[in-house]
């Protein structure tokens, strides 16, 4: 407990839940870090996609950035309405489930869960890429640094929402300030220095119209990574201080405006300074070097960028556990995910997300560009389903200005649906197929979990109780490995439970068996001792065969297996003793009509 308290802090009382909520300033840092940080790599992803066609299309990066910024505005306005329509938390899962049906809601939920895992993996690897750009000697240790970053993020979020906000606010605002400064200073210096015209300005036709169209669409799909995370605020409305809906919606609009400015600004600078993607150095690093040279400000920008990219994963550490909790409350995920931990956060969801993201990073060797093709498919699918659900919501609820609201959400749904088709079509062979397969698999598992919980509830319900037959016999079995005080205590307890008590000893060595029988007679133990032979030196198999034999004799009886155990005073003492009793209990759990009970004897030091 002392280690746990040191790492995540003392438990927080449930009544303090409202005091742990976020202000708009802290909420922006918590929920916008993913969205805002994408400005650091979205332009580079666009240009990497355009570079396939050679220099002919690179000059279109700014136009594509502007198009994505327009898409960002449409989605932000749509989610602004969703927040006010679902002030208790209007995540895509809830909106789709309420308006489009349970299975459609599960598709949205599965898509978002996948995207949250990818967000952590992409953000952390991109942050580490910024570090290795400034310090190339660390490149070979990128996977280890990524895993360390995930552990730090997990511990920070396990400490609670408000404390996580305090930890992660400063890097977010430093990143925004540094990027805005880079854009302003870069534009001023270029104006003063009059940079030459871009060398990539060639005719579009030189690449071939059909190939060019595919490349441009693929670049657009890659750049749409900038939009991911915009749904985070609507998922976490209840995390804000009252009035929750107003504070959340204002935070959403500020987030969208900041991202639009930074994204377009970086794309404009990249074209202005003729910066192109290169190995082992990010475009943002090249821009910072071109504008400020490799001085203090350059390293400050790299440090802040690395921090915000790693901390961008914090958005997922907020939303993944919340969404998992809602789905678990509906019976579609394990119930453990619906419970809050000591610090009033969904601890199990936080740990689960960290584990999944770490596995992805190991599989893809910590390479951001390998993970990007999997990214954004899920989030845009979820956004499309959410906006479609909102159209049906307004049709059903009507109310003030319902036609205008429905039109906004309808336009958002159509726009993002087109984006889903573009992203899926252009990224399919590069890895998007994995997400497309994973979504129905998760939906199928969720439905299976729901069926299980329904079956359990039906079987446990008092309404299904019939005339249960009474047990006609009670046999108590005490497995022993010798005769000592713990065994004597277990035998005394067994004789209280039943008159049919038997001690069972598994023989490995005939000499030791004879010694035990002699000691049994010497101390006058009244409980019969049954000796079982073990051909393969196993305790478990002969014992289970004996229990099954008793079950055959007393088919309507119950068997209690009493396990004598001694409990050491130090945790590490357990390592020095075998755990046979634990193994027996685990096996007996699945045997019908058999109950296991431990009789502990607590040892002094």
Q: Using DSSP bridges, classify how beta strands 529-533 and 558-567 pair: parallel, antiparallel or unpaired.
A: unpaired
Please answer whether residues 140 and 134 qualify as being in contact, where contact means their C-beta atoms are separated by less than 8 angstroms.
no
Residue 7 has pLDDT above 80, yes or no: no
Residue 250 has pLDDT above 80, yes or no: yes
Higher pLDDT, 499 or 373: 499
Residue 176 has pLDDT above 90, yes or no: yes
Q: What order of strands is seen across the sheet that includes strand 474-480?
A: 529-533, 500-507, 474-480, 558-567, 594-602
Residue 468's pLDDT band, with cuts at 50, 70 and 90, is low
- Residue-level pLDDT at 448: 96
Instruction: Rank 88-97, 348-357, 362-371 by mean pLDDT and report only the highest.
Output: 348-357
- Residue-level pLDDT at 207: 44
Segment 555-562 shows an average pLDDT of 93
pLDDT in tens, 214-235: 888 888 888 887 887 788 888 7
Two structure tokens written together for 366: 């910590």
Q: If you average pLDDT over every residue of the chain, what do you get?
A: 85
Two structure tokens written together for 387: 């906006």
Higher pLDDT, 376 or 552: 552
Residue 354's pLDDT band, with cuts at 50, 70 and 90, is very high
Higher pLDDT, 27 or 168: 27
Segment 421-435 shows an average pLDDT of 82
Residue 563 has pLDDT above 60, yes or no: yes
Two structure tokens written together for 251: 């935070």
Residue 340 has pLDDT above 90, yes or no: no
Residue 282's pLDDT band, with cuts at 50, 70 and 90, is confident
Check residue 281 and report its DSSP letter: B
pTM higher than 0.85 for the full model?
no
Give percent of the chain with pLDDT exceeding 90: 37
Please answer whether residues 7 and 227 qualify as being in contact, where contact means their C-beta atoms are separated by less than 8 angstroms.
no
Query: Which domains are present in the chain?
Result: 24-453 (1.20.1740.10), 474-602 (3.40.50.620)
For 147-203, the DSSP string reads HHHHHHHHHHHHT-HHHHHHHHHHHHHHHHHHHHHHHHHHHHHHHHH-PPPPTT---
Please answer whether residues 35 and 370 qualify as being in contact, where contact means their C-beta atoms are separated by less than 8 angstroms.
no
- Residue-level pLDDT at 18: 58
Residue 483 has pLDDT above 60, yes or no: yes
pLDDT in tens, 27-79: 888 788 888 888 888 898 898 888 877 676 777 889 999 999 998 998 898 88
Higher pLDDT, 192 or 205: 192
Residue 204 has pLDDT above 50, yes or no: no
């Amino acid at each position: 407990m002392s280690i746990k308290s040191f790492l995540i802090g003392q438990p927080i009382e449930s009544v303090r839940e409202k005091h742990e909520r976020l202000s708009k300033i802290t909420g922006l840092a918590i929920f916008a870090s993913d969205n805002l940080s994408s400005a650091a790599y979205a332009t580079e992803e666009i240009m990497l996609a355009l570079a396939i066609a050679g220099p002919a299309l690179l000059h279109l990066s700014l136009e594509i950035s502007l198009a994505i910024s327009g898409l960002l505005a449409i989605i932000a306005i749509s989610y602004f309405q969703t927040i006010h329509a679902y002030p208790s938390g209007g995540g895509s899962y809830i909106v789709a489930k309420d308006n489009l049906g349970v299975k459609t809601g599960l598709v949205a939920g599965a898509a978002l869960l996948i995207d949250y895992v990818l967000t952590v993996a992409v953000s952390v690897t991109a942050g580490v890429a910024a570090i290795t750009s400034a310090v190339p000697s660390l490149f070979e240790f990128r996977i280890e640094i990524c895993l360390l970053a995930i552990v730090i993020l997990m511990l920070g979020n396990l400490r609670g929402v408000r404390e996580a906000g305090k930890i992660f606010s400063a890097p977010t605002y430093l990143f925004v300030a540094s990027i805005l400064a880079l854009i302003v200073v870069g534009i001023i210096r270029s104006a003063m220095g009059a940079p030459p015209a871009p060398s990539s300005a060639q005719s579009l036709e030189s690449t071939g119209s059909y190939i060019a169209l595919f490349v441009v669409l693929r670049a657009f799909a890659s750049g749409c990574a900038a939009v991911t995370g915009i749904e985070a605020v609507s998922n976490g409305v209840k995390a804000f201080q009252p009035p929750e809906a107003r504070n959340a919606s204002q935070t959403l609009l500020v987030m969208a405006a900041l991202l639009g400015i930074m994204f377009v600004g970086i794309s404009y600078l990249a074209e202005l300074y003729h910066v192109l993607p290169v190995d082992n150095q990010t475009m943002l690093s090249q821009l910072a070097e071109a504008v400020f040279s490799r001085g203090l400000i350059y390293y400050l920008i790299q440090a802040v960028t690395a921090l915000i990219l790693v901390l961008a994963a914090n958005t997922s550490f907020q939303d993944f556990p919340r969404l998992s909790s809602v789905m678990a409350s509906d019976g579609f995920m394990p119930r453990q995910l619906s419970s809050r931990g000591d610090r009033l956060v969904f601890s199990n969801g936080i740990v689960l997300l960290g584990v999944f993201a770490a596995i992805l990073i190991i599989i893809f060797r910590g390479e951001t560009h390998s993970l990007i093709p999997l990214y954004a498919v899920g989030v845009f699918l979820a956004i499309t389903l959410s906006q479609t659900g909102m159209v049906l919501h307004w049709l059903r609820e009507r109310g003030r200005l319902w036609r205008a609201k429905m039109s906004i959400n309808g336009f958002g749904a159509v726009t993002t649906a087109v984006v889903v088709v573009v992203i899926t079509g252009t990224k399919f062979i590069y890895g998007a197929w994995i997400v497309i397969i994973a979504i129905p698999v998760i939906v199928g598992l969720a439905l299976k979990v729901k069926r299980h919980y329904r079956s359990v509830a039906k079987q446990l319900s008092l309404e299904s109780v019939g005339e249960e037959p009474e047990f006609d016999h009670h046999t108590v079995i005490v497995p022993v490995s010798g005769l000592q005080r713990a065994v004597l205590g277990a035998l005394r307890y067994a004789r209280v439970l039943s008159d049919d008590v038997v001690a069972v000893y598994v023989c490995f060595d005939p000499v030791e068996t004879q010694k035990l029988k002699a000691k049994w007679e010497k101390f006058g133990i009244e409980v019969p001792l049954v000796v079982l032979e073990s051909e393969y030196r196993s305790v478990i198999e002969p014992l289970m065969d004996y229990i099954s034999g008793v079950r055959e004799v007393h088919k309507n009886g119950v068997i209690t297996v009493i396990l004598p155990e001694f409990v050491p005073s130090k945790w590490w003492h357990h390592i020095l003793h075998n755990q046979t009793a634990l193994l027996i209990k685990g096996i007996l759990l699945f045997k019908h009509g058999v109950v296991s009970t431990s009789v502990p004897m607590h040892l002094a030091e």
